Amino acid sequence: KGHWAGDRKQTTVWAITHRKSDTGHGTQKPVECMRRPIENNSSPGQAVYEPFCGSGTTIIAAEMTGRCCHAIELNAAYVDVAVLRWQDFTGQAAMLEGDERTFSEIAATRAGGVA
C-alpha cells in the first residue's frame, strides 16, 4: 500500500508557473513540480530519492518540505550546479561526508573546478 499524504481534492493536472532560471540546465523544472509529489507521498523527516538530479530541483523541494533527499547525477558539471544551488538556498556549506572538506575546498583542488 502506498503512502498518500496529500488531500483528495487534487486533480491530476497541475498549473505551475515556470520561472526562467540561471542554472544552465536545459530541462530544469520549477521547484513546485517536485514539491507537490514529495508532500503527497512522504512526511516531514522522511527521505526521498532522486536518481536524475540535474540542477537540484528535487533537492531544493525536499529542503523546503523538511525531507532528506538522496540524489544521484552522472554529469559532474550538474553536480556542481546542484550543490551550489543548495548552498545558495540554505546558506550552508556542503561538506564531503567522511573527511568534512567543503565543496569550495574540493572544487579549488579540481582542474577546471568551481571555486
| Continuous segment of H or E residues that includes residue 47 | strand 47-50
Kindly report the pTM of this predicted structure: 0.80
Q: Hey, what domains does the chain have and what are their CATH numbers?
A: 31-109 (3.40.50.150)
Question: Coil, strand or helix: which one is 62?
Answer: helix
Question: Coil, strand or helix: which one is 80?
Answer: helix
Could you tell me the mean pLDDT of each successive run of 10 residues in the chain, 115 residues long?
A: 72 72 68 92 96 95 98 94 95 93 88 55
**What's the pLDDT score for residue 4?**
73
Question: Coil, strand or helix: which one is 18?
Answer: coil
Neighbours of 31 (CB within 10 A): 23
User: For residues 105 and 67, what is the distance between their CA atoms, to the nearest angstrom?
Assistant: 27
**What's the pLDDT score for residue 85?**
94
